[in-house]
Chains A and B, each alone.
Chain A
Amino acid sequence: MGMTMTQKILAAHAGLPEVAAGQLIEADLDLVLGNDITSPVAIKEMDAKMTKKSVFDKDKIALVMDHFVPNKDIKSAEQCKCVREFAARHEITNFFDVGQMGIEHALLPEKGLVVAGDVVIGADSHTCTYGALGAFSTGVGSTDMAAGMATGKAWFKVPSAIKFVLTGKPAKWVSGKDIILHIIGKIGVDGALYKSMEFTGDGIAHLSMDDRLCIANMAIEAGGKNGIFPVDDVTRAYLKEHSMREYQVYEADADAEYEQVITVDLSQLKPTVSFPHLPENTKTIDQVGEIAIDQVVIGSCTNGRLEDLRTAAQIMSGKKVAKGLRVIVIPATQQIYLQAMEEGLLKIFVEAGAVVSTPTCGPCLGGYMGILAEGERCVSTTNRNFVGRMGHVTSEIYLASPAVAAASALAGKIAGPCE
């Protein structure tokens, strides 16, 4: 029987001619990732319990200080120190600290550290982002990270898959974020539990790499093990620009088995908003009604890329943030920050009355840099709107695209970019 794209990558990395859904395999890893929250737990596991104290390959580990940096308090500073010392001790090539860091899932593709055909694990749930590049990548915990750093291997249960056939061309203000929110609204937050989400169809040609990274990023919000796109001209151009590494192109077999096939006509989609407190609570912008807001966040591993900032700046250019609203813009990497500065985007944000932050995950997970008080509402381009995610347990997060977030920033309420 044929294999899905994911199954082919896993088979190749397990040294097997073929694999089937449900099979337990051990696969070779091309990259193991950790951040300042999850790495300290992995490092302690390794130091305290593991017999093997050395890393499998100092070039195939990426440690990114991004969640609470520049450090928000003494305890987070201690966490980073632990990782910094580990990186120095093991001569980790890809250790990214303040000044070089960016939000991990924006940074790694930009640095060319992940290419098509790779198998990547990361101790961060949004590691699934790299599926946009045609890689198998998935989030794990700190113990898996420790084992991966020491052995260069991880165990996987080969996933079954849902095939999403994307057709047509999305309308002007419809982005990758609207597409994935629509899909999660359709299948639910456990709609792809344990499964691959394989995206195909002629509509993909209309999606930029930033759109695809955003879509793959939120596969986890449907419970997915990974989200993956086929390699096309857009992928090739991106990989050529960002990486020197050779890559492998895997394609799903014509007779690959899918548990479900879901067709999404992109031309019919509208800007979409996820209401509290689950990403599946979606409404199209015309169904939203009057919802006053207190804060807007534009950033994160989901939507902190250059194209996102360009879209927001296009809408906010020459306009002012609504009175009484706080607007926080967070470029996801130093490179994006620099480019946004050179293009004049940061000037547009500051003149409009927004603040521009150094790269950080910060408010997305309620860390710092934009915590919500009791009952406050935020429109955010991030990925989760769980209870208390960004602050007080009664605060509310509305997930949306950069276009909707920017339009809402001007209106002081949830608004579409056409209004």
Chain B
Amino acid sequence: MKANGTVFKYGDNVDTDVIIPARYLNVSEPSELAAHCMEDIDREFIHHVKKGDIIVANKNFGCGSSREHAPIAIKAAGISCVIAETFARIFYRNAINIGLPIIECPEAANDIEAGDQVEIDFDSGMIYDRTKGTEYKGQAFPEFMQKIIAAEGLINYINNR
């Protein structure tokens, strides 16, 4: 599996309130949530994001509320992968559970800039910045989580057991 897209870049502690503000949590439809994705941190995001694009951020991405609406909104907006220095733990679980690919890689998170063209090979965990001509090795998931990802989420994984 591969991802290939243009990068949207954010800093430290991007919280789930700015990813999807609570005023929109009276619905749970992915497409409706996606329409307000990143609204309180980047009003332009939803107007420019294309299917396959990539979010790169620094530390503690997805901190705060446990709302699964956050990774759902990001996935439904077309984002193919989130790369960060670190993820907040509930967001990390939620992303795996709903099948939104995420990768922890401090070097890539620091170097990659907004607008870069980035390619990710999920099998090898390699991240290629085609704009800069650089490459990075992301941290591999434990085998158990790889199984959940391969099943495209926790529910399918449990169903298959």
Query: Do A and B belong to a common assembly?
Result: yes
Q: Which residues of A contact B (CB under 8 A)?
A: 24, 37-38, 40-41, 44-45, 49-52, 67-68, 72-73, 75-76, 79, 122-125, 127, 139-144, 146-147, 150-151, 155, 157, 189-190, 193-194, 220, 223, 225, 278, 365-367, 384, 386-389, 393
The reply to whether B26 and A140 form a contact with Cβ atoms under 8 Å apart is no
The reply to whether A386 and B15 form a contact with Cβ atoms under 8 Å apart is yes
Known: A125-B66, A140-B90. A40 touches B28 (CB 8 A): yes
Choose from A141, A193, A384 the contact partner of B93 (Cβ within 8 Å).
A141
Interface residues of B in 15-56 (CB under 8 A from A): 15, 17-18, 21-23, 25-28, 40-41
Q: Is B64 an interface residue (CB 8 A)?
A: yes
- Considering the chains assembled together, what is the distance between the CA atoms of A139 and B97 in angstroms? 14
The reply to whether B89 and A194 form a contact with Cβ atoms under 8 Å apart is yes
Known: A41-B68, A189-B63, A193-B60. A75 touches B26 (CB 8 A): yes
Determine the chain A residues whose CB is within 8 A of the CB of B60 once the complex forms.
Answer: 189-190, 193, 223
The reply to whether B90 and A139 form a contact with Cβ atoms under 8 Å apart is yes
List 30 A-B residue pairs with CB atoms under 8 Å apart, sorted by A's residue number. Answer: A37-B22, A37-B69, A44-B28, A49-B159, A50-B158, A79-B28, A122-B66, A139-B90, A140-B66, A140-B93, A140-B94, A141-B71, A141-B94, A141-B97, A141-B98, A143-B98, A144-B94, A144-B97, A144-B154, A147-B97, A147-B158, A157-B142, A189-B13, A189-B60, A190-B88, A193-B86, A193-B88, A366-B23, A386-B18, A388-B17
The reply to whether A146 and B65 form a contact with Cβ atoms under 8 Å apart is no
The reply to whether A143 and B13 form a contact with Cβ atoms under 8 Å apart is no
Determine the chain B residues whose CB is within 8 A of the CB of A393 once the complex forms.
Answer: 40
Determine the chain A residues whose CB is within 8 A of the CB of B59 once the complex forms.
Answer: 190
Choose from A38, A75, A155, A389 the contact partner of B17 (Cβ within 8 Å).
A389
User: Nearest 7 CB-CB pairs, A to B?
Assistant: A141-B94, A75-B26, A141-B68, A143-B97, A388-B40, A365-B22, A125-B66
- Considering the chains assembled together, what is the distance between the CA atoms of A384 and B26 in angstroms? 20
The reply to whether A155 and B144 form a contact with Cβ atoms under 8 Å apart is yes
Number of contacting residues on B, CB 8 A? 40
Known: A388-B18, A388-B40. A141 touches B90 (CB 8 A): yes
- Considering the chains assembled together, what is the distance between the CA atoms of A366 and B26 in angstroms? 12
Determine the chain B residues whose CB is within 8 A of the CB of A143 once the complex forms.
Answer: 68, 94, 97-98, 153-155
Q: Is B137 an interface residue (CB 8 A)?
A: no
